[in-house]
Amino acid sequence: RSSDLTAPVPAAELVESKIIDKDLYNQLHQGKKSVKDVSETDSIKKYLKGSTAIAGVVVEPTGQKLSLYDALRKNLLKPTNAYNLLEAQAGTGYIIDPIKNEMLPVEEAVKAGTVGPEFHEKLLSAEKAVTGYKDPYTGQTVSLFQAIKKGLIPKDVGIRLLDAQLATGGIIDPVNSHRVPLDIAYKRGYLDEEMNKAILQPDNETKGFYNPNTQENVTYAQLQKTCRTDKQTGHSLLPLSEMAIQSQQEEIYTDTEAKEAFSKATVEVPSGSFKGRMITIWELIHSEYFTDEQRRELIRQYKTGKVTIEKIIKIIITIIEETETKKQQRLTFTGLRAPVPAMELLESKVIDKVQYEQLKEGKKSVKELAENDSVKQYLQGSPCIAGVYVEDTKEELNIYQARSEEH
């Protein structure tokens, strides 16, 4: 067994994935080669460990090295840029501290202060690109690409994570806990040619990362090419030019003005987790309903005078309502004649608040709860009398037949 991203990988699985050939497998089996020797071979290490993600930044011309989170706290990176790069770390294996040379799972990284608690939930979601997403209908573990197809994560986030995985060694198989060659990824349904083409031949929509030095949207691989390798740790560090830092400082000033305006305006939310509450626009655009891109675009449009506060409120309510509608569609049970939303079962006291929250968080699937006897009773009922059984002749007849034959 080789040790890899999150779990040991049997050698037989590496043969099936075409990472090692049968000859090498036999040498392992016969003790002619050790697991350690094979694991350290570059062509195999690539699939077991991948190459590290962009670990942090290096400030020009001082040469100061910082983690992504520290660069964000010092206002050297845009919040969106820093988050996307942290998300790429989580979605390719680990959160990286380039100063202490540590690579940690999200939970441990938050405890160690490598990232702040405000990123905890979002980075845990990104980490599922490595460990797998839970399908709320079947309870099965599905890959990142499958999660995009099933609408379990936003498409833009999914494409960004796929881009980072491909740039750091290949698509991750969450079931077998290693990266796989492209043809195996296709075969197992972890990617298709259309998505791969969108990533390899990107337009501005699929360029999910930002180069602060050129102020352009780029792919992860393009951003990696601009990085420097830290001689002490071997980690990739993104250089920040004086111009990039100055531009960021100027933007903070104008963002502060937007924040003041958005913090004064409140809105009563008609649905979702904030239903009935008066919330500021600033709080809402930083909630789970908005992607970083949506938030950045709303602030940009306000700063350039394209939209008023009133228009922004309408946009916000529309986005929340659309998100809630999609969420309810995913949490739908099969009823007698029509689908039944989970919220309806909660209001009817067929399921309790704990079960509803487990559904929302993906800890329980729709299928699992539907098989629960107490829930099944209300969704499907118990069978009614279907017909008659004639003991003398051992005949089974439906009601109409029994009536016709005057049994």
Long-range CB pairs of 224-227 (<8 Å, 24+ gap) are 224/54, 224/167, 227/54
pLDDT of 347 > 70? The answer is yes
pLDDT at 177: 72
| Rounded Cα gap, residues 177 and 49, in angstroms | 10
Number of Cβ within a 10 Å radius of residue 389: 11
Q: What is the mean pLDDT of residues 160-168?
A: 91
Span of 7-21, 208-222, 298-312 with lowest mean pLDDT: 7-21
SS3 at position 112 = helix
182-220 pLDDT, tens per residue?
Answer: 778 888 888 888 888 877 787 776 788 999 999 899 999
Nearest to 198 by CA among 163, 235, 237: 163
CA dihedral in degrees (213, 214, 219, 222; nearest 10)?
-70
Nearest to 177 by CA among 1, 9, 2: 9
368-391 pLDDT, tens per residue?
Answer: 878 888 788 777 766 677 788 888
pLDDT at 54: 96
Q: What is the mean pLDDT of residues 59-67?
A: 91
What's the pLDDT band for 239 if we cut at 50, 70, 90?
very high
Q: What is the mean pLDDT of residues 230-234?
A: 91
Greatest mean pLDDT among 110-114, 245-249, 398-402: 110-114
| Rounded Cα gap, residues 393 and 279, in angstroms | 73
Structure tokens at 95: 């959160």
Give residue 232's identity as a one-letter amino acid code: Q
| Rounded Cα gap, residues 184 and 195, in angstroms | 15
**Chain center to CA of 175:** 16
SS3 at position 240 = strand
| Rounded Cα gap, residues 270 and 248, in angstroms | 36
244-299 pLDDT, tens per residue?
Answer: 888 877 666 567 778 888 999 999 988 877 888 899 999 999 888 888 778 888 88
The DSSP secondary structure of 14-31, one letter per residue, reads HHHTTSS-HHHHHHHHTT
Average model confidence (pLDDT) for the chain?
A: 82
pLDDT at 354: 84
Q: Write down the residue that tokens 């590496």 correspond to.
A: 14
pLDDT of 395 > 90? The answer is no
Which H helix or E strand runs over 244? helix 242-264
Structure tokens at 205: 């929509």
| Rounded Cα gap, residues 58 and 230, in angstroms | 9
| Rounded Cα gap, residues 88 and 103, in angstroms | 13
What's the pLDDT band for 2 if we cut at 50, 70, 90?
very low
Q: What is the mean pLDDT of residues 398-405?
A: 74
User: What Rg, from alpha-carbon coordinates, does the chain have?
Assistant: 27
pTM over 0.75: no
| Rounded Cα gap, residues 272 and 153, in angstroms | 18
pLDDT at 401: 77
Q: Phi/psi of residue 169, each to 5°?
A: 130, -15
pLDDT at 170: 84
26-40 pLDDT, tens per residue?
Answer: 666 666 666 666 555
Supply the DSSP symbol for 41.
S
332-345 pLDDT, tens per residue?
Answer: 777 666 777 787 78
| Rounded Cα gap, residues 270 and 234, in angstroms | 51
pLDDT at 11: 58
